[in-house]
Amino acid sequence: MGEESNGLLTIERDEGRRKCPSCGEENKNMIHESTDKTNIINDYPRVFGKKYRCGRCGQEWREK
Ligand SMILES: [Zn+2]
């Protein structure tokens, strides 16, 4: 399991519902939000970006 950064898509933030860019899953219970430690938004105070993972197809992505 070493494809942490390889499989990560970056997509435009959508106005509507968050959905999986790969399979289109919209159920928020299936979309898992986590902190993306490789994406530092602000240095002080330290703020990290968020990333999302689809529980249906396993796709990971983050939003601009
Ligand atoms: Zn998916």
Structural domain includes residue 22: yes
Q: Grade residue 11 by pLDDT with cuts at 50, 70 and 90.
A: very high
- In the reported structure, the alpha carbon of residue 60 is separated from the centroid of ligand 1 by a whole-number distance in angstroms of 8
SS3 at position 61 = strand
Our CA dihedral for 38, 17, 29, 57, rounded to 10 degrees, sits at -70
Q: What is the mean pLDDT of the chain?
A: 89
Instruction: Give the structural domain span for 45.
Output: 8-63
Q: In what order do the strands lie in the sheet with 31-42?
A: 8-11, 60-63, 47-54, 31-42
- In the reported structure, the alpha carbon of residue 44 is separated from the centroid of ligand 1 by a whole-number distance in angstroms of 34
- In the reported structure, the alpha carbon of residue 40 is separated from the centroid of ligand 1 by a whole-number distance in angstroms of 25
Please tell me the pTM assigned to this model.
Answer: 0.78
Q: Is the pLDDT of residue 64 over 60?
A: yes
DSSP 23: T
From CA 37, how far away is CA 50, in angstroms rounded?
8
Structural domain includes residue 42: yes
Which pLDDT belongs to residue 30?
98
Structural domain includes residue 44: yes
| For range 4-23, the mean pLDDT | 84
Total number of domains in the chain: 1
Structural domain includes residue 1: no
- In the reported structure, the alpha carbon of residue 21 is separated from the centroid of ligand 1 by a whole-number distance in angstroms of 7
**Higher model confidence: residue 9 or residue 14?**
9
Structural domain includes residue 2: no
